[in-house]
Structure 1
Amino acid sequence: MRVVGLTGGIGSGKSEVSRILKELGAPVIDADALTHQCQRRGQLVWRAVWDRYGWGILGPDGELLRRKLGHIIFHEASEREALNRIVHPAVKRQIQERLAELERQGSKVVVLDIPLLIEGEWRTQVDEIWVVYSDPHQQLARVMARDHIGPDEARRRIAAQMPLAEKVQYADHVIDNQGTLLSLREQVTQLWRNAHTIA
């Protein structure tokens, strides 16, 4: 089974690429979605996050307030690292279980959608890396619109990650998301077809 690592930066358009791949029938393992599952009320990760940050990051329903948590971790690198130490081992186990399940089902190519793929250990565990790229101005505008924040806060969140220009140096394929949605779809469709040809 061939494993494609899909990554990018905040506001690069990786989620849109992931959505297109799912429409094309690709089995996509979404690390963000698994993280959200691990952080649901009552889960072990939820309890560990609550133990560290207290009642202030819980809503009336007991679920984590992601925006409040995001504000903490994007302002303090040490807190971002602490949260990663809580969350990443649980997500890693789920990814490994899902990969094993897809291999048993006979999948030829699987897409592993991980924002911090290059920064973490997964970079060495995938067969190829696809990086979604957009220029810094587009990235800034998307983060502001998506998270309903001002430019200073958006820049802070972008700066908390490895720059896209650096990520593309690790890429086997760069998906250029500076143009139209049609152009993006054409690139992704061709890459998915090529991945099956190699597999």
Structure 2
Amino acid sequence: MLKIGLTGGIGSGKSTVANLLAEAGLEIVDADRIAREVVEPGQPALAELAEAFGADILNADGTLNRGELARRAFVDAEHTGLLNSITHPRISAETTRRFAAAEAAGTRAVVYDMPLLIEQGLDAGMDLTVVVDVPAETRVQRLVAQRGMDENDARARIAAQISDERRRAAADVVLDNSGPREALDAQVAELVERVDRMAAAEAAE
């Protein structure tokens, strides 16, 4: 089974690409979705977070108040490390389980939609690393116009991530999403064809 790593900076359109790949029949393992699922009510991680950071990080309905957790967890490296020690093992275990289930089901290729793929060195375990690339200024404009984000906040978030140059250097495939949607669709179609060829070659071995 092929593992395709998909990543890109905030505002790059990575989710759009993931949706297009899903429409093409590829299975998606969404790291952000898994991160949300492991802290849902009834999950062990949520109880541990409440114990570590205070029961009032929970809303009245028992769900996680993400804003309050962030205010407490990102005050310093120690508290951030505590948060990561609770959530990361669960995220990693669930990701591994989903890859294994896909392989057992005979899935030809899985796309790992992961914002921090390169930062965490996870691209090393991929058969193909795909980066959705858009100039930073264009991403700022899109974040402000499409998500209603404050411009300074958008710039700060982009600056906090690794550079576009570093992402491109780690990529096997760069999808340019700075143009019209039709151009992106064509690039994704080419990517799907490449994945199909790789999967066929792997199956023939």
In the superposition, the TM-score normalised over structure 1's length comes to 0.88
Map 1:92-103 → 2, pairs under 5 A: 92-103=92-103
Query: Offset at 1:151?
Result: 1.8
| Aligned counterpart, 1:84 | 84
Residues matched between the structures, number: 199
Q: Any unmatched runs of 5+ in structure 1?
A: none
AA in 1 matched with 2:166: E
CA-to-aligned-CA distance 1:78-129 (integer Å, 9 cap, x gap): 6555433322211111111111111111111111111111111422211110
Preserved contact between residue 7 and residue 115 of structure 1 (Cα < 8 Å): yes
| Aligned counterpart, 1:130 | 130
Q: Look up the SS of the partner of 1:179 in the other structure.
A: coil
| Aligned counterpart, 1:36 | 36
In the superposition, the TM-score normalised over structure 2's length comes to 0.85
CA-to-aligned-CA distance 1:30-73 (integer Å, 9 cap, x gap): 11111111011221222233333334543332212334545666
Using a 3 Å threshold, how does the CA distance of structure 1 residues 98 and 169 change in structure 2: closer, same or farther? same
Q: Any unmatched runs of 5+ in structure 2?
A: 200-205
| Aligned counterpart, 1:47 | 47
In structure 2, C-alpha distance between the alignment counterparts of 1:192 and 1:143, rounded to whole Å: 28
With 17-26 and 145-154 compared, the bigger mean Cα shift is at: 145-154
| Aligned counterpart, 2:9 | 9
Larger Cα-atom Rg: 2
Confirm whether residue 173 of structure 1 aligns to residue 173 of structure 2: yes
AA in 1 matched with 2:154: A
In structure 2, C-alpha distance between the alignment counterparts of 1:74 and 1:142, rounded to whole Å: 27
CA RMSD of aligned residues (A): 2.3
Percentage identity across aligned positions?
A: 36
In structure 2, C-alpha distance between the alignment counterparts of 1:38 and 1:21, rounded to whole Å: 25
Using a 3 Å threshold, how does the CA distance of structure 1 residues 74 and 144 change in structure 2: closer, same or farther? farther
With 31-40 and 156-165 compared, the bigger mean Cα shift is at: 156-165
With 180-189 and 29-38 compared, the bigger mean Cα shift is at: 180-189
In structure 2, C-alpha distance between the alignment counterparts of 1:95 and 1:5, rounded to whole Å: 13
